[in-house]
Amino acid sequence: MGLIVNNFKTLFLISSLFITFGSCTLTDKSAIPKSYLKNPKKVYELALKRMKSKDWEDARTIFGKIKKAFPLSEYATLADLRIADCHVKESSFATAASLYHDFMKDYPFHEAVKSGYTTWKIGFCQYRLGPGDFFIFPPSYEKDLTHTRSAMKIFKIFMKRYPDSSYLKSVKKYHMKAVEKLADHEMYVASYYTKKGKTTGVRMRYEFLLSNYPESKRIHEAVIKLAELYIKEKTYSKARTLLSEFIKKYPRSKNLMEAKKLLSKIPGEKK
């Protein structure tokens, strides 16, 4: 009786695998060869080949089959990660970010999490969800930069948490991209307030830029404009401090002579 039951279980498992994977055909790229049915590694490698060929949808389908047929295998875990990777390649960044986040919760000790890979990818997805620059559309700094801000925060967390990660170079690159977009936005809004004659708004934007995006290349221009505003408002002490620190910190700035000229024109402070 036990032998019959065991044989029935075996038959049921094999039948399930056939239902999950199907047979290899010439028209279905996501079909699995029968010889792979008991080998999740071979199925996983087949899915990777589909990724290499940029057959993202077929790759996702095969990874999904691995999860169903071999749920306890290490390749089911890897399949979760690779499905998210496929969505990135397909520009489905919101879906990919959600999947990476789930992966981090489900497998907190996985190497992809410990190495910072998933954090980097979530940041990348947030950045790509933000506005891009295409010549027939308004520039990105005129648009909603919520996702760009989120990306910058994630990149900062990454750099603090994974200082030795192999993904650090990529993170730094996209962190600076995010910083420059956000700094451009502050300059754009400051310019708008200037045209409207809203001095307080102008000052707040330049001060925010200097405090939050000190690594931006727009710092140089912002310092000059803010110093000019301080002088106009007769807050000479602030102008003097700002310009002196700028000259000391950026001796090779293209705005150096302009900064020195402004500094030399600041009158003595009123008592």
Task: State residue 267's pLDDT score.
Answer: 85
- Look at residue 38 in the predicted model and tell me its pLDDT: 81
Ordered domains of the chain (ranges, CATH): 10-90 (no CATH), 94-217 (1.25.40.10), 224-271 (no CATH)
Residue 226: pLDDT over 60:
yes
Structure tokens at 43: 């199925």
pLDDT score at 144: 82
pLDDT in tens, 179-218: 999 999 999 999 999 999 999 999 999 999 999 999 999 9
What's the confidence (pLDDT) of residue 131?
A: 77
Predicted confidence (pLDDT) per residue in 25-37, tens digit:
333 555 667 767 7
C-alpha distances out from residue 12 to 6, 8, 27, 31, 34, Å = 10, 6, 27, 20, 16
pLDDT for 17 beyond 50: no
**Which pLDDT tens digit goes with each residue over 90-116?**
999 999 999 999 999 999 999 999 999
pLDDT at 142: 56
- Residue 210 to residue 188: CA distance in whole angstroms: 14
Rounded CA gap, 44 and 33, in Å?
12
Query: Residue range 65-84: average pLDDT?
Result: 96
3-class DSSP state of 178: helix
Q: State pTM to two decimals.
A: 0.82
Residue 137, pLDDT > 50, answer no
Q: At what angle do helices 219-232 and 199-212 cross, to 10 degrees?
A: 140
Q: Is the pLDDT of residue 16 over 90?
A: no
pLDDT of residue 136: 42
